[in-house]
Chains A and B, each alone.
Chain A
Amino acid sequence: MLNIKAIKETVNMIREENLDIRTVTMGISLFDCQCDDTDRLCGKIYDKITKSAGRLTSVTRELEKRYGIPIINSRVSVTPISYMAGGIKSVDDCVKIAKTLDRAADELGINFIGGYTALVQKGATDSAKLLIESIPEALSQTGKVCSSVNVASTKAGINMDAVRAMGNVIKETAYLTRGSGSIGCAKLVVFANVPEDNPFMAGAFHGAGEPERVINVGVSGPGVVAAAIRRAGDCDLSAVAETIKKTAFKITRVGQLIATEAAQLLDVPFGIVDLSLAPTPAVGDSVARILEEIGLERCGAYGTTAALAMLNDAVKKGGVMASSSVGGLSGAFIPVSEDAGMIEAAACGALKLEKLEAMTAVCSVGLDMIAIPGDTEADVISGIIADEMAIGVVNSKTTAVRVIPAYGCSVGDEVSFGGLLGTAPVMAVNNYSPAKFISRGGCIPAPIQSLKN
Chain B
Amino acid sequence: MEESKMNNAAKDGGEKQSKKAVITVVGHDSIGIIAGVAAACAEFGVNICEITQSVLSDYFVMIMIVDIDGLVGDFSAFVDAMAAHGRERSLEIRVMHENIFDSMHEI
Contact = CB atoms under 8 A, between A and B. Distances in A.
Interface of A: 1-4, 6-11, 62, 65-69, 250, 253-254, 256-257, 260-261, 264-265
A254 B99 CA distance: 9
B48 interface: no
A6 B13 contact: no
A68 B65 CA distance: 15
Interface of B: 2, 5-6, 8-10, 12-14, 20, 22, 24, 52, 63, 65, 75-76, 79-80, 94-106
B101 A69 contact: no
Contact of A66 (B20, B75, B102): B75
B6 A265 contact: yes
B100 A6 contact: no
B98 A2 contact: yes
B22 A257 contact: no
A68 B80 CA distance: 11
A145 to B, nearest CB: 31
A6 B96 contact: no
A62 B95 CA distance: 13
B76 to A, nearest CB: 5
A396 to B, nearest CB: 31
B52 A4 contact: yes
A257 B103 contact: yes
B105 A67 contact: no
B94 to A, nearest CB: 5
A257 B99 contact: yes
B16 to A, nearest CB: 10
Contacts of A1: 106
A68 B94 contact: yes
Nearest to B79: A65
B76 A250 contact: no
A10 B79 contact: no
B6 A10 contact: no
Contacts of A254: 100, 103-104
Q: Which of B8, B75, B97 has the most CB of A within 10 A?
A: B97
